[in-house]
Structure 1
Amino acid sequence: MVAKKFAVQVSLLIIVNLIVKLVWIFFIERKIQLLVGFENYGLYYSIFNFTLILGFINDPGLTNYLIRFLASKNENSFQIANLFSLKILLSISYLLLTLLFSFISGYSNFQLIFILIGYQILWSFLIYLRGFLKGYQFLNAEVFFSILDKFLLIITLVPLFYLNKNINWTINLYALSQLIAVLISIILCYWILIRHKINLFFNISFKLNFSVLKPLMPFAIFAFLVLAYNKIDVVLLQKLLPNGSLATGNYAAAYRFLDASNMLPILFASLFYPVVSKNIIEKKHIGNFIKPGLSFLIAISLIVCFGSWFYRENLMSLFYGAKSSKELANIFGFLMFSAPLIVIYYVYSTVLTANNNLKILNIISAIGLVFNILLNIILIPNYGALGTAITSFFTFLLIGLTEIYFYYRYFKQQNHLKIWLKVLLFGFLLMLLGNFVSYLNIAWIMEFSAFVVIAIIIALVLKLFDYKVLKGILNVNG
Structure 2
Amino acid sequence: MQKEFRNNIILLLVINFVIKPFYVLGIDAQVQNAVGESEYGMYFALFNFCFLFQIILDFGIQNYNSQYISSNRDEISLMLPIVLGAKIILIILFALMVSIGALLMSYPLEYFILLGLIVMVMVFQSLFIYLRSNFSALGFFRMETWFSAFDKFLMILVIGYLLYVSKNISITLFAAGQLFALVISVIVAVFFLRKKVVFKISFNLGKIKTLLTKSFPFAIVFLLMTLYTRMDGVMLEYILDDNARAAGVYAAGFRLLDAANMIGYLFALLLLPMFANLIGEKKDVNTLTFSAASLLITIASLISAICWFYSSEIMNLIYIQADNTYSEVFGVLMLSFWAMALSYVFGSLITASGKLRIFNMIFVVGIIINWTLNLMLIPEKGAYGAAVATLVTQFFVFLSQLILARKMFDLHFNFTFFSKSLTIVGTYFALSYLMHQYLAMNWFLEIIIITIISLAISFFMGFLRLSLNPA
TM-score for the superposition, normalised by structure 2: 0.85
1:115 Cα offset (Å):
1.4
SS of 2:380's equivalent in the other structure is helix
Distance in 1 (alpha carbons) for counterparts of 2:145 and 2:284: 33
Shift of 1:44: 0.6
Aligned counterpart, 1:179: 179
Instruction: Tell me, yes or no, if the aligned pair for 2:32 and 2:40 is still in contact at 8 Å.
Output: yes
1:81, 1:205 within 8 Å by CA — same for their partners in 2? no
The AA in structure 2 aligned to 1:253 is: A
- Relative distance call for 1:135 and 1:116 in structure 2 (3 A) is same
Q: Is the 8 A contact 1:85 1:208 kept in 2?
A: no
- Separation in structure 1 between the aligned mates of residue 283 and residue 218 of structure 2, nearest angstrom: 25
With the length of structure 1 as denominator, give the TM-score of the two structures: 0.84
Alignment partner of 1:371: what SS?
helix
Which whole-Å deviations, capped at 9, do the CAs of 1:103-137 have from their partners, x for residues lacking one? 22233211111111122223334445556767788
Shift of 1:174: 0.9
User: Unaligned regions of 5+ residues in structure 1, if any?
Assistant: 473-478
Distance 1:279 1:35, change over 3 A: same
1:318/1:83 CA distance change after superposition, 3 Å: closer
Name which of 116, 119, 122 aligns with 2:121. Answer: 119
Q: CA RMSD in A?
A: 3.4
Deviation at 1:13, TM superposition (A): 5.9
**Range that drifts further, 228-237 or 407-416:** 407-416
Determine the structure 1 residue equivalent to 2:367: 369
Give the residue type in structure 2 aligned to 1:415. F
Q: How does 1:81-96 map to 2 (within 5 A)?
A: 82-96=82-96
- Equivalent position of 1:101 in the other structure: 101
Q: Which amino acid aligns with 2:177?
A: S
CA-to-partner distance for each residue in 1:129-153, whole Å, 9 max, x for gaps? 5567677888787666554443222
Distance 2:229 2:178 in 1: 22
Deviates more, 1:134-143 or 1:341-350: 134-143
Contact 2:158 2:181 in 1 (8 A): no
Does residue 154 in structure 1 map to residue 188 in structure 2?
no
Displacement after TM superposition at 1:419 (Å): 2.5
**CA distance in structure 1 between the aligned counterparts of 2:448 and 2:17, rounded to whole angstroms:** 23
Query: Greater CA radius of gyration, 1 or 2?
Result: 1
Residue 24 of structure 2 corresponds to which residue in structure 1? 25
- Correspondence for 1:229: 228
Range moving further from structure 2, 122-131 or 373-382? 122-131
Equivalent position of 1:465 in the other structure? 463
Q: Of the candidates 327, 336, 339, which is equivalent to residue 337 of structure 2?
A: 339
Note the C-alpha offset of 1:300. Answer: 2.5
**1:468 alignment partner, SS class:** coil
Q: 1:281: how far off?
A: 4.5
Asked if the contact 1:225/1:362 (under 8 Å) is kept, the reply is yes
Tell me how far apart the structure 1 counterparts of residues 433 and 141 of structure 2 sit (CA, whole Å): 48
Aligned to 1:410: 408
Q: Is the 8 A contact 1:254 1:328 kept in 2?
A: yes
Contact 2:60–2:219, Cα closer than 8 Å, also in 1: yes
Provide the C-alpha distance between the structure 2 equivalents of 1:426 and 1:144, rounded to a whole number of angstroms. 31
Deviations for 1:316-352, whole angstroms, at most 9, x for unmatched residues?
A: 11222x3111110111111111122112211221222
| Count of matched residue pairs | 463
Q: Deviations over 1:405-428 (max 9, x none)?
A: 223323446114332233334434
Q: Is the Cα contact below 8 Å between 2:136 and 2:270 reproduced in 1?
A: no
Q: Name the CA shift for 1:279/1:139 in 2 (closer, same or farther; >3 Å).
A: closer
Tell me the amino acid that sits aligned with residue 390 of structure 1. V
Measure, in 2, the Cα distance between the counterparts of 1:136 and 1:423: 34
Task: Give 1:420's aligned residue.
Answer: 418
Query: How far 1:390 moved relative to its partner?
Result: 0.6
Q: Distance in 2 between matches of 1:430 and 1:143?
A: 29
The more displaced of 399-408 and 440-449 is 440-449
Q: Which residue number in structure 2 is paired with residue 325 of structure 1?
A: 323
The structural deviation recorded for 1:62 is 3.8
Counterpart check, 1:39 vs 2:51? no
CA deviation after TM superposition for structure 1 residue 193, in Å: 6.8
Which one-letter code corresponds to 2:89 in the other structure?
L
SS of 2:107's equivalent?
coil
Aligned partners of 1:27, 1:291: CA distance in 2, in Å? 35
- Which deviates further from its counterpart, 8-17 or 432-441? 8-17
Per-residue deviation, 1:97: 0.8
Q: Distance in 2 between matches of 1:208 and 1:271?
A: 28
CA contact (8 A) 1:299 1:464 kept: no
The answer (yes or no) to whether the contact 1:334–1:390 under 8 Å persists in 2 is yes
- Alpha carbons of structure 1 residues 40 and 283: separation in structure 2 relative to 1, 3 Å: same
- Sequence identity (%): 29
Match of residue 272 from structure 2: 273
- Aligned 1:210-359 pairs, distance under 5 A: 210-243=209-242, 245-320=244-319, 322-359=320-357
